[in-house]
Amino acid sequence: MADVMNDPRHMPPSLWAATAPASPPTTPLAGEAVADLCVVGAGYSGLSTALHAAEAGLSVVVLEAAEIGWGASGRNNGQVIPTLSRLDPDAIVAAVGADKGEPFVALIRDSAALVFDLIRKHGIEAEAVQNGWVQPAHRESRLKISEARVKQWGSRGAPVELVDRARMAAIAGTEHWHGGWLNRSGGRINPLGYARGLAAAAIGAGAKIFTQSPAQSVTRDGARWKVSTPGGHVLAEKLVLATHAYGDELWPGLSSEVIPVRSYQMATEPVGDNVHRSILPEGHALSDTRGDLYFFRFDANRRLVTGGALIIGAGYDGRLRRRIAERAARVFPQLGTPRFDYVWHGYIGVNQDRLPHIHELAPGVYGWTGCNGRGVALATAIGREFARAAAGTPMKELPLPLSPVKPVPARGFARRVAPFAVGYFRWRDTRD
């Protein structure tokens, strides 16, 4: 039997699949399509590219192997976070260089606002709440991280603030954390609703989206690229490869740049009104400073949406229900022992340097990998920049630090041992 989480014929079951508005109608590609731009992958990267390129007047064809939002974009926690997971602005600038460093930091700074602006502009039904994203410190020693982030993001104009212990208790609805920081431009969405809404907006702007249409090869055809699927092909001058952690070897080395790391997501049954009012009462989305991340948010129906990581994937359902119920009850005693209505998972594209790797793979061919778990806002923003590149803006004018494709060495082995990193993170989380 096909694994329902990895079967491209259907959306995997999840809270979001059960609650997002329907996808716009699409069909597989049949025959030849000709466009200015072909986009491979209908997650946020590809859909944002398609929307912005179509709005700029390009003819656009999107090819999606499965369904709109079938990859990470339809399965994530829906936290809209305008930061990278590990690197702060100074480190980003040091890593990518003075030329593109600050422009790229500014792109990240404004990325959450972009998501909520798009949702408002296109009337996307995505349960959007822009009441801030908060990162509490799980040990007093980690308040140093909060201070550094407020200083570095604040000096670059981000709407951030330090949060003391009492205020954090009020924001989170628990004494579990020691304080932290928050970014007011962040928030939460129904991630699949957002993907489907972006798709509808792209179609409205003139893009064509073909689903159940895996790109099997990319070849040169005169002055154009030919992207072939089982049912036909697309001829286009420009190409965006937006397959991320769900990609295969369509372009040499691109998908091998990341290790797909499984992240488990869970949603409780709807909690009672009093409990709902007492946890994250102001509607924040929250991810703490642990390596084995604690993350929580509500959906629009009073379900607490959380999850975690496991070292061993086999038989995950039962173990996860026990582990995360115990965790949630410890963090939020008022919750009692929660029951989960939904458990699902997806793959995050993780790389070694924790930096997004952004490429011009050949003239007019763009792609990126390496969200490292922070991609809702970032993929949207990078997609917009790919659209500008496809529409003719010179790369040197765009805030994208380009790098050569760099596959993870011994990736097969690295992929097998990656889940064991969770054990190390758990140990490190207990140290100052």
Residues that bind ligand FAD (CB under 6 A): 40-46, 63-66, 70-73, 75-79, 81, 214-215, 242-248, 250, 263, 265, 346-348, 371, 373-377, 379
SS3 state at 130: coil
Among candidate residues 370, 361, 359, 366, the one with its CA nearest the CA of residue 391: 366
Measured from the CB of residue 257, what is the shortest distance to ligand FAD in angstroms? 12
Measured from the CB of residue 308, what is the shortest distance to ligand FAD in angstroms? 10
Is the Cβ of residue 42 or residue 134 nearer to ligand FAD in the bound state? 42
64, 7 contact by CB (below 8 A): no
Is the Cβ of residue 55 or residue 64 nearer to ligand FAD in the bound state? 64
81, 153 contact by CB (below 8 A): no
Alpha carbons 121 and 47: distance in angstroms, whole number? 15
- Laid out side by side, the sheet with 340-350 consists of 160-163, 180-183, 133-136, 285-287, 295-298, 304-308, 259-268, 340-350
Measured from the CB of residue 239, what is the shortest distance to ligand FAD in angstroms? 12
172, 286 contact by CB (below 8 A): yes
Measured from the CB of residue 371, what is the shortest distance to ligand FAD in angstroms? 3
50, 39 contact by CB (below 8 A): yes
Rounded to 10 degrees, what is the CA torsion of 417, 418, 423, 429?
150
Is the Cβ of residue 193 or residue 346 nearer to ligand FAD in the bound state? 346
Is the Cβ of residue 316 or residue 334 nearer to ligand FAD in the bound state? 316
Is the Cβ of residue 152 or residue 265 nearer to ligand FAD in the bound state? 265
Is the Cβ of residue 51 or residue 63 nearer to ligand FAD in the bound state? 63
Is the Cβ of residue 118 or residue 242 nearer to ligand FAD in the bound state? 242
Is the Cβ of residue 71 or residue 179 nearer to ligand FAD in the bound state? 71
Measured from the CB of residue 93, what is the shortest distance to ligand FAD in angstroms? 21
The token pair at 249 is 């070897």
Measured from the CB of residue 46, what is the shortest distance to ligand FAD in angstroms? 6
Strands (E), 65-177: 79-80, 133-136, 160-163
**Number of residue whose CB is nearest ligand FAD:** 375
Measured from the CB of residue 72, what is the shortest distance to ligand FAD in angstroms? 4
DSSP string, 193-232: HHHHHHHHHHHHTT-EEE-S----EEEEETTEEEEEETTE
Is the Cβ of residue 164 or residue 317 nearer to ligand FAD in the bound state? 317
267, 341 contact by CB (below 8 A): yes
Measured from the CB of residue 39, what is the shortest distance to ligand FAD in angstroms? 9
Measured from the CB of residue 354, what is the shortest distance to ligand FAD in angstroms? 13
Measured from the CB of residue 48, what is the shortest distance to ligand FAD in angstroms? 8
Measured from the CB of residue 57, what is the shortest distance to ligand FAD in angstroms? 23
CB 275: neighbour CB atoms within 10 A? 18
Strands (E), 114-159: 133-136
Is the Cβ of residue 331 or residue 379 nearer to ligand FAD in the bound state? 379
Is the Cβ of residue 334 or residue 360 nearer to ligand FAD in the bound state? 360
Residue 372, CB half-sphere, CA atoms under 13 Å: how many? Answer: 13
Residue 204, CB half-sphere, CA atoms under 13 Å: how many? Answer: 12
One-letter amino acid for residue 239 of the chain? L
Strands (E), 129-176: 133-136, 160-163
- Enumerate residues 6+ apart whose C-beta is below 8 A from 152: 88, 89, 90
269, 325 contact by CB (below 8 A): no
36, 390 contact by CB (below 8 A): yes
Determine how β-strand 357-362 pairs with β-strand 232-241. unpaired
Q: Dihedrals φ, ψ of 376, to 5°?
A: -60, -50
